[in-house]
Amino acid sequence: MSGDLTKKVEALERRLGVLDDERAILSTLNTYGHTIDHGLKAQWLDCFAEDAVYKVQASGVALPELFGIAQPPTGLRGRVALSAYIAKHSSAPVLWHKHCLSEPIIKLEGDSQASVESYFVRLDEDQNGAYILAFGRYRDQMVKSPDGKWRFKRRICEIESRPARR
């Protein structure tokens, strides 16, 4: 193979690797919403690294509790805390809601780390019909695990707006 052809193939391999990583990251982002909404707790938990941090905040301050689970100011850390959280989270068919994600901006930072910012809207329903429970953005740090799957190392859910209680 000539030098030019070798360089072209190597460049294509790098580009394909970037596309594969971005696609795998998008898969994790989408899996998060589908699994939390439908009570697929083990699959939701598998979106996170073993020592991951999950934090929900409004106006820059961590919410004091999440579904009856105390949230430290630094967020929930590790699989035990995340397991307790997801065990209490609502899901279909008891409560129908949708975590909708849009406009993710993925920045690969080497072969096994990435940062992602995206918008979210959570749609809920009550006796009066569908409504927006909250919207905001996710700020994520992701890592590529030894099994090749991209997982959240840190997920910060920044609530930017939510209605008064319905």
- For 49, the token pair is 């690294």
pLDDT (tens digit, 9 = 90+) per residue, 96-119?
A: 999 999 999 999 999 999 999 999
Model confidence at 5, pLDDT cuts 50, 70, 90, reads confident
Q: What is the DSSP string of 31-83?
A: HHHHHHHTT-HHHHHTTEEEEEEEEEEETTEE-SEETTEE--TT-EEHHHHHH
Which secondary structure element, helix H or strand E, spans residue 136, and what is its range?
strand 129-144
The β-bridge relationship of strands 69-70 and 65-66 is antiparallel
Domain ranges of the chain: 3-161
Run of H or E residues at 21: helix 3-37
Mean pLDDT on 28-49 = 98
pTM comes to 0.91
pLDDT by residue (tens digit) across 71-100?
Answer: 999 999 999 999 999 999 999 999 999 999
Say how many C-beta atoms besides its own lie within 10 A of residue 2's C-beta. 7
Q: CATH classification of 3-161, choosing from 3.10.450.50, 3.90.76.10, 3.90.105.10, 3.40.50.720?
A: 3.10.450.50
pLDDT, mean over the chain: 94
Q: What Cα–Cα distance (Å) separates residue 23 from each residue in 3, 17, 104, 108, 154?
A: 30, 10, 11, 12, 19
75 is written with which tokens?
């967020």
Residue 30: what pLDDT?
98
